[in-house]
Structure 1
């Protein structure tokens, strides 16, 4: 149990640094904790994070911790470019660790890799990754959104390219069975409005409203424990997610 306790102390300390907006310090401590976690995976031959999560009463669900580390590495990269590279390396290791059961975390981790390459000015590698991933899973709605956003928002090294952003999101719109279609439509509407294509934006608004009507279901009142997983599907504790609002 002592080795788990030491890792948990590092995780807790990292969150303390995040609260103070000391992102570099937080990431360094968390990456050290991640090295310890990898060692446990090798030593104990664990198949996934869930098994390790159940071995100890952690300060935070481990699935939350690994996602928070990914996010803060991206934020730290705005201060020091090397942390974009550390984020890529970490996320690649994460993909090797995840067993495939948590598809949302896998998708978010892939997005982080491509986004980091784009932040480093390597749009070609970003394009290559998304092209390969979307060939494997052509219905990944948030894959198209995130790829489009790279071009739509740009970086310190690459100017925004709204034409390219529109081209990418249009591919998703043309796939009627794309996942998270409402989110795809919302992003496309924003792009068309920003480029003054009001007619196209209005047409997509109509489709979005139709989808909302079809998917609307009665809301039931259910009491959720503060330490239970949030029902929104984020993977975080309720008190750290919707319950914090």
Structure 2
């Protein structure tokens, strides 16, 4: 049948459990450096839509196609319109038009301080905005439980009865 799609090939390579730990660390260290360099260029002109085939973008950023596929996989959730990464091939046209706030928050969520700490963000957001986005992203992962209603508390339905004699009767 057909060979694996580019994304599956990237994931097989990037998450190969048979590789020794030091080789995986070297692979990811190299990838994160490349990723940082691409983001530095993208953030210089954040409102410019970078568009082209996967192969053209790989050439534009001086990378091989597989590394570009990994980058596209990473940025896809932050794009204004998601790319068809599950089915893309070298000649698939993709866009890197990203939502600035969403990208910043996703970098925080990924704990990628080498990305959300890039100096290019200072030209996009002021310090107060960066703090607000950071706080919003951190709080979005915090689960808050509502205060539990006690048996003898007034019923929240407003009847004036105790919870145990009203809505809590059948609970």
- The two structures share one fold, judged by TM-score above 0.5: no
What TM-score do the two structures reach when normalised by structure 1?
A: 0.25
Higher-RCO chain (CA-CA 8 Å, sequence separation at least 6): 2
Structure index of larger Rg: 2
What TM-score do the two structures reach when normalised by structure 2?
A: 0.33
More helix by share: 1
